[in-house]
């Protein structure tokens, strides 16, 4: 089927471009792994946003990634806890990685998405997160996570 006859071709192409960029930032050619990490990031961040914030972030995503973003979402059950440990647990489980790997992967996905989204978009969304979760997502946390210092929603 030619692209001109396939109305979904532009959406698929854009999703491939974004996934390729994220895979490059993850230093992998394993597109399935890059997809799992992206999906884990989308869900883990989405679940910590209020409904308007989730809608605002989703508007930045290509159509196929927007569908993944909303997959399994229950708006009446958000936002969930902003504890870093819970974010890392959710991300690790969805990405199929260890919790030790999850923090670095989350930062790498954030870094790629910051370049792919409109300038400042992710910074604007993350302003609702406590400092330690923002640090994890933006790659400046250098030590273990102390749950005692994390604000609870």
| pLDDT tens digits for range 26-51 | 999 999 999 999 999 999 999 999 99
**pTM exceeding the 0.85 threshold for the entire prediction:** yes
| pLDDT tens digits for range 100-124 | 999 999 999 999 999 999 999 998 9
pLDDT of 145 higher than 70: no
pLDDT attached to residue 103? 92
Calpha distance 117→110 (Å, rounded): 10
142 compared with 118, residue with greater pLDDT? 118
Mean pLDDT of 84-96: 98
Calpha distance 132→27 (Å, rounded): 25
What does pLDDT average to over the chain?
A: 90
Q: Which helix (H) or strand (E) holds 71?
A: none
pLDDT attached to residue 139? 75
Mean pLDDT of 11-18: 97
DSSP string, 4-61: GG-TTHHHHHHHHHHHHHHHHHTT---HHHHHHHHHHHHHHHHTTS-HHHHHHHHTTS
pLDDT of 140 higher than 90: no
What single-letter DSSP state applies at residue 96?
A: T
């Amino acid at each position: 089927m030619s692209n001109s006859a396939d109305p979904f071709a532009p959406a698929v192409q854009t999703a491939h471009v974004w996934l390729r960029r994220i895979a490059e930032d993850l230093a992998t050619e394993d597109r399935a792994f890059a997809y799992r990490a992206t999906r884990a990031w989308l869900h883990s961040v989405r679940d910590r946003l209020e409904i308007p914030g989730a809608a605002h972030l989703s508007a930045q995503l290509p159509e196929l990634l927007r569908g993944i973003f909303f997959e399994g979402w229950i708006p009446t059950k958000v936002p969930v806890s902003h504890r870093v440990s819970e974010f890392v647990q959710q991300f690790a489980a969805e990405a199929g990685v260890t919790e030790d790997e999850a923090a670095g992967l989350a930062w790498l996905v954030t870094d790629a998405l910051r370049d792919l989204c409109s300038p400042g978009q992710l910074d604007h969304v993350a302003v609702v997160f406590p400092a330690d979760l923002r640090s994890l997502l933006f790659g400046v946390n250098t030590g273990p996570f102390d749950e005692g210092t994390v604000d609870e929603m």
